[in-house]
């Protein structure tokens, strides 16, 4: 019994460590998403939580399936999803810069955008999760998946807490029309460059 508990505890610690190591940058993404939500009259915070779960779920399922099939996954191509926040940010900045008086009202943060941004930013997660799942049995894989689910909630709570300061919220309300799009542009560019997809294109 004690050996089984030790194995369970070891699996949970390993899964939590793998999640934390591969999602430190996701805290920045979550902060950006929560800041973006705070600029809306009625923030749809549930979209961020659900989008994170769907996005991390997709990454986990892809990694687990690749581990079972022993199939390599070209994670570099995930970098193309970085075009989504890049285009959205550029579009918002162009609308804000238009010489037509009042700035445009920010659109609601949609669930598909949250999912795409989460998956795009987690391309490197797959390369870590594949060997992890290859080393686990069926029961440990389920425990790892459940641990990831708990860690997503912890990460969302942490991202929300990082943007909960009144000064930050006030800044978002005043300057969110141009600050948030600029951060989206930077985020998209970072995802594309870091993924290695540009180097992959030039190799062909």
Q: Are 48 and 111 in contact (CB under 8 A)?
A: no
CB neighbours of residue 23 within 10 Å: 24
* Among 198, 51, 48, 61, CA closest to 126: 61
Find the mean pLDDT for residues 124-153: 89
Which residue has better confidence, 122 or 78?
A: 122
Note down the domain range covering 197. 2-203
Reply yes or no on whether the pLDDT at 181 is more than 80: no
Quickly count: other Cβ atoms within 10 Å of residue 1's Cβ. 5
Cα–Cα dist 191/28, whole Å: 12
Overall average pLDDT of the 165-182 stretch: 65
How far apart, in whole angstroms, are the C-alpha atoms of residue 20 and residue 137?
A: 22
Once rounded to an integer, what is the mean pLDDT over residues 152-181?
Answer: 75
Region 175-198 average pLDDT: 70
pLDDT value of position 42: 44
Res 130: pLDDT: 85
Give dist(CA 20, CA 145) in Å, integer: 14
Q: Given this model, what pLDDT does residue 72 score? A: 64
Cα 26 off chain centre by: 5
Q: What is the structure's pLDDT at 67?
A: 85
Rounded to whole angstroms, the Cα distance separating 126 from 66 reads: 9
Is pLDDT of 104 > 70?
Answer: no
Residue 101 pLDDT exceeds 50 = no
- Pick 41 or 135 by higher pLDDT: 135
Give the model confidence (pLDDT) of 51-95 as tens digits: 999 999 999 998 898 888 876 666 666 667 777 778 877 877 777
More confident residue, 34 or 183: 34
The rounded percent of the chain whose pLDDT value lies above 70 is 70
The model's confidence at residue 147, banded by pLDDT at 50, 70 and 90, is very high
pLDDT value for 143: 92
Tell me how many domains the chain contains. 1
What pLDDT, on the 0 to 100 scale, is given for residue 183?
72
101: left (phi over 0), alpha (psi -120 to 50) or beta: left
Q: pLDDT: is 107 or 90 the higher one?
A: 90
Mean local confidence (pLDDT), 139-151: 93
197 contacts: CB under 8 Å, gap ≥ 6: 76, 77, 78, 79, 80
Cα first-last separation, the chain: 55
């Amino acid at each position: 019994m004690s050996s089984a508990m030790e194995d369970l505890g070891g699996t949970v610690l390993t899964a939590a460590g793998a999640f934390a190591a591969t999602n430190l940058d996701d805290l920045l993404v979550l902060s950006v998403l929560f800041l973006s939500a705070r600029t809306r009259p009625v923030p749809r915070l549930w979209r961020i939580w659900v989008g994170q779960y769907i996005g991390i779920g997709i990454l986990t399922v892809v990694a687990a399936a690749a581990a079972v099939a022993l199939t390599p996954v070209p994670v570099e191509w995930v970098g193309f999803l970085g075009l989504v926040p890049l285009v959205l940010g550029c579009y918002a900045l162009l609308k804000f810069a238009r010489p037509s008086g009042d700035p445009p009202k920010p659109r609601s943060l949609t669930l598909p955008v949250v999912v795409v941004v989460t998956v795009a930013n987690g391309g490197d997660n797959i390369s870590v999760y594949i060997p992890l799942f290859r080393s686990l049995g069926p029961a440990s894989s389920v425990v790892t998946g459940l641990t990831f689910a708990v860690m997503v909630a912890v990460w969302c709570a942490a991202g929300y807490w990082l943007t909960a300061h009144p000064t930050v919220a006030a800044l978002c309300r005043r300057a969110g029309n141009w600050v948030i799009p600029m951060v989206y542009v930077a985020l998209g560019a970072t995802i594309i460059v870091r993924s290695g997809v540009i180097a992959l294109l030039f190799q062909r």
